[in-house]
Structure 1
Amino acid sequence: MLFNSWIFLLGFLPVTLAGFFLLGRRSPFMSAAWLAGASLFFYGWWDLRYVPLLLASICFNYGCSTWLASGPAWRRKAVLTAAVCANLALLGYYKYAGFLVASVAHLLAQPLPVLQVILPVGISFFTFTQIAFLVDTYRGQVRERRFVHYLLFVTYFPHLIAGPVLHHKEMMPQFADRKVFRLSAENMAVGASIFLIGLAKKVLLADNLAPFAGALFNQPGEPSLLIAWSGVLAYAFQLYFDFSGYSDMAIGLSRLFGVKLPLNFDSPYKAANIAQFWRRWHMTLSRFLRDYLYIPLGGNRHGGARRYLNLMITMVLGGLWHGAGWNFLIWGFLHGVFLGIHGAWSSLRLSSQSTAWKIFATALTFVAVCTAWVFFRAPDLASALAILGGLYGGNGLALPDALARHLAPVQPLLVAMNVSFYLGGGAAFIDSWGWIGLAALLAFGCPNTQQIMRLVEPALDAKPASSRMAWRPTRYWAAAMAGLALASMLSLNRPAEFLYFQF
């Protein structure tokens, strides 16, 4: 069931909201149980066969958490180690077993039985969420005695499929407040606004950019420079608006229930360096990798060389978390290299605070990120290398004939510059760059969702309460949201999955 589908918007969501608030009048426990049950139904809609797997994982980790809450230190540490290993083994089997068998077969040049393992949707997210809970319980930071509340924490449908990766303390304490179980016009207005902005990002921007990205990555051939960049930029902005749209929709949906989720996306393409990019892109995953991998490895506490090694290990494993394949490993490796270069450059203290430098640094960071996206999106290494060849001029510069006719007077000069013409594709070429230009304008030149909502929503503002602007609905705001909703609804004839569902 997709957030951007009619069955969700007109069926599942209103029924779940109605049950939650009606039961909340009588019993917060029953209301929480209803929401947990609805979340399981939401998950089962994808594939009912994997609901027992999800429940088994939840029961196992809940049982382990009760052992971690008390007892001698040696036993608690042993339980934590065994539980984390069990979670990683489950994730490893479903996500990486086929890749490992294929890699071993290729290395040995011997045919091996092919493992046909269907990846359970959301397994990476509910596994990481529970690992974080176990570690936090071991550290004495959280404890959950009520199974229904733990069930709700893991299965909560706004974040179950594609994040954000939550800490228990960020969500469940809110259910101790009875105000959560009371229908609030403010929560409805704020939640619906954030949801509609996210829906528009998905169906009006990301889905319209998808065909231009697919045209390159599905059949790369030997793309020329402009064709390669149009496809790569189309994918970069498709992924940007697809994932930020999902994150907005998850936060907005949760707010309808009176629950505030952490931000997960903060204009990452505006980052002036790669470290800043990772503080803005998939923020909760970056936090997880930092807190539960990079810092336990030693972080930056053991000198520069060890720090760069820890960064590389973290990013390579982060790449593999996204998918089982050499492309994802190379993508993570590249980001490890980028972070290492940034660290070395920062130590020289040569950066400037001038506007020109910030523009250059932002552009350079964006180009580096787009280069790495080639491996993230390409179906195999051969395709990725072919696209990279075109991206940096290896196949020359080609123009569609629609443009070539207008440039006929200067054709000899263009030929001398290795600019070639090809037949057809002029309209698609112009359309692709039109959509890319619009996407770039919105991504680089406009405020993001939380910046927009700070004008109307104190909870998303980091300023002191005295300086916040109180939320006030207006007719203009309502009209803008109605227009956005109408435009989005008219585009729901073919709902497309979110890109991060595959991870």
Structure 2
Amino acid sequence: MLFNSYEFIFAFWPITFIAYFLLNRFCPPVVGKLWLAAASLFFYSWWSIKSLPLILGSIAFNYLMGRLIGHSGSKSPKIRRLLLTAGISGNVLLLGYYKYADFLITNVNSLFAAHIKLLELALPLGISFFTFTQIAYLVDAYRGSAKEYSIVNYVLFVTFYPHLIAGPILHHKEMMPQFDRVRSKQIIPGNVARGFFVFCIGLFKKVIIADTLAPIATQGFDVSTQLSLVDAWSTSLAYTLQLYFDFSGYSDMAIGIALLFNIKLPINFNSPYKAVSIQDFWRRWHMTLSRFLKDYIYIPLGGNRKGKVRTYFNLVATFLIGGIWHGAGWTFIIWGLLHGIAQVVQRLWGKTGITLPRWSGWLITFLFVNFSWVFFRAKTMEDAMKVFHGMFNFQNIGLVLNLDLIGKLLMIGATFTIAVLARNSMEMKLHFKPNLKYAAYIAALFVFSILYFNQVSEFLYFTF
């Protein structure tokens, strides 16, 4: 089930909301949690019920490992580390089997002229996100900062449907206390208004902006065999903007939906295309993934505590793992490697003492991010090289003005301006007031988005 669908907006969401607060009013608190957990599993199964046993098995495994780790405090550190290693290994193997098995087989076949048959496994929905969420839980249990003794609570933590498919990546310690607050058991009108406001902004981003940019990127990456200078830059910029408005739109909708249940999800985007350095970009882009990579990969590898060379290695290794997490393909590996190298280059540049004007820092960062997204989007290396060749093909500028090109350039220019200059949704939420002005604004966003439901499209990160 998609957030941008009639069945979700007009049936599933209102039914789960009303039933949850009615149960909280007339039944013990655990009943409301049980309802929300069951509804979340139904939401997940709507897309593919075949994946339901997988997520339930993953939940059971991690709940059991978390309990074992939590109760092993009095045992030797070696046993606790062994339990943590077993838990993380189980999650990584599950993710690796479904997401990377065919990639490995393809490369083995290519290197050794083998003929191993591909498994052709369907990627379970949201597996990357619920796997990372549960790895974080196991590590927190090992560190003593997360303990969960209720299976209902744990299932709800993992499956809470606003974040289940594409994040944000959550921490147990920041989520479950919110479900247990007495005040959260009743409808809070202010949260309902703010939540619906943020949801409508996200819906507009996805349906009106991202889905309008999508055909431009698709034409350039997947259809055209060669691109002129203008076509190539339109293609890369369209995808750069599509990805931002699509994924940040999902995050806004997730935050808005959760707020109606009085749950505050962490912010996942903070105007990343306003970043003035690559480090600044990763403080603003997919912020919960950046937090995960830092806390559970970079720091455990040694962070910056073991000298400069090791720090640089840890940075590259962390972003390389981040690239691999995003997808099984050399293009994702290159994308992650580029961002890791960029982190090292920024630190080396900082040692020169040379300070660039703020505008040039922004321009270099944006151009680098835009170039790297080409690898992220391209299905093959050939597709990526096709776009890059066009971006520097000054012999074929391709500036033949017609209505199609003018509309394309205006759309890219308008959305670029919004991404770079306008306030983001979280900044707008801070200024939100439940009055007639904002009510009209919400109504306009909602009605316009609903009328634009000419086709229900998936979110880009559903396939990661």
TM, length-normalised to structure 1: 0.90
Tell me, yes or no, if structure 1 residue 486 matches structure 2 residue 447. yes
| Map of 1:406 onto structure 2 | none
SS at match of 1:348: coil
Distance 2:225 2:364 in 1: 27
Distance 1:270 1:88 in 2: 34
| Map of 1:449 onto structure 2 | 425
| Map of 2:30 onto structure 1 | 29
Give the drift of 1:393: 2.8
Distance 1:251 1:369 in 2: 26
Distance 1:66 1:378 in 2: 42
Give the drift of 1:337: 1.6
Choose which of 94, 101, 107 in structure 1 pairs with 2:105: 101
Deviations 1:157-198 (Å, cap 9, x if unpaired)? 000000000000111111111111101111110100000000
SS at match of 1:398: coil
Unaligned runs of 5+ in 1: 404-425, 457-471
| Map of 2:154 onto structure 1 | 150
SS at match of 2:187: coil
| Map of 1:429 onto structure 2 | 405
Distance 2:221 2:426 in 1: 32
Distance 1:427 1:316 in 2: 42
Greater mean deviation of Cα atoms: 186-195 or 296-305: 296-305
Give the drift of 1:394: 5.9
Tell me which amino acid in the other structure corresponds to 1:157.
Answer: Y
Give the drift of 1:238: 0.4
| Map of 2:352 onto structure 1 | 348
| Map of 1:6 onto structure 2 | 6
| Map of 1:252 onto structure 2 | 256
Change (3 A) 1:291 1:297: same
* Alignment: residue pair count: 460
| Map of 2:56 onto structure 1 | 55
Choose which of 207, 216, 239 in structure 1 pairs with 2:243: 239
Tell me which amino acid in the other structure corresponds to 1:437.
Answer: G
| Map of 1:462 onto structure 2 | none
Distance 2:304 2:396 in 1: 43
Deviations 1:432-465 (Å, cap 9, x if unpaired)? 1111011011111110011111113xxxxxxxxx
Choose which of 400, 418, 435 in structure 2 pairs with 1:474: 435
Choose which of 193, 204, 208 in structure 2 pairs with 1:200: 204
Give the drift of 1:339: 1.1
Moved over 3 A (4+): none
SS at match of 1:387: helix
Deviations 1:120-171 (Å, cap 9, x if unpaired)? 0100000000000000000001101111000000000000000000000111
Distance 2:165 2:249 in 1: 14
| Map of 1:364 onto structure 2 | 364
Say what the alpha-carbon RMSD is for the aligned residues.
1.0
Give the drift of 1:301: 1.2
Unaligned runs of 5+ in 2: none
Deviations 1:302-359 (Å, cap 9, x if unpaired)? 222111111111111101100000110011111112111111111222124xxxx111
TM, length-normalised to structure 2: 0.98
Distance 2:362 2:399 in 1: 28
| Map of 2:457 onto structure 1 | 496
Tell me which amino acid in the other structure corresponds to 1:438.
Answer: A
Tell me which amino acid in the other structure corresponds to 2:19.
Answer: G
List aligned pairs for 1:207-226, cutoff 5 A.
207-226=211-230
Q: Is the 8 A contact 1:389 1:395 kept in 2?
A: no
Deviations 1:251-308 (Å, cap 9, x if unpaired)? 0000010100100010000000001101110000011011111111111112221111
| Map of 2:140 onto structure 1 | 136
SS at match of 2:439: helix
Distance 2:109 2:403 in 1: 45
| Map of 1:20 onto structure 2 | 20
Change (3 A) 1:394 1:109: farther
| Map of 1:413 onto structure 2 | none
Give the drift of 1:395: 5.2
Change (3 A) 1:94 1:428: same
Choose which of 182, 189, 195 in structure 1 pairs with 2:186: 182
Give the drift of 1:98: 0.5
Tell me, yes or no, if structure 1 residue 39 matches structure 2 residue 45. no
| Map of 1:167 onto structure 2 | 171
Give the drift of 1:219: 2.5
Distance 2:82 2:199 in 1: 43
SS at match of 2:399: strand
Deviations 1:78-113 (Å, cap 9, x if unpaired)? 111011001100000000001000010011122221
Distance 1:191 1:398 in 2: 45
Change (3 A) 1:187 1:372: same
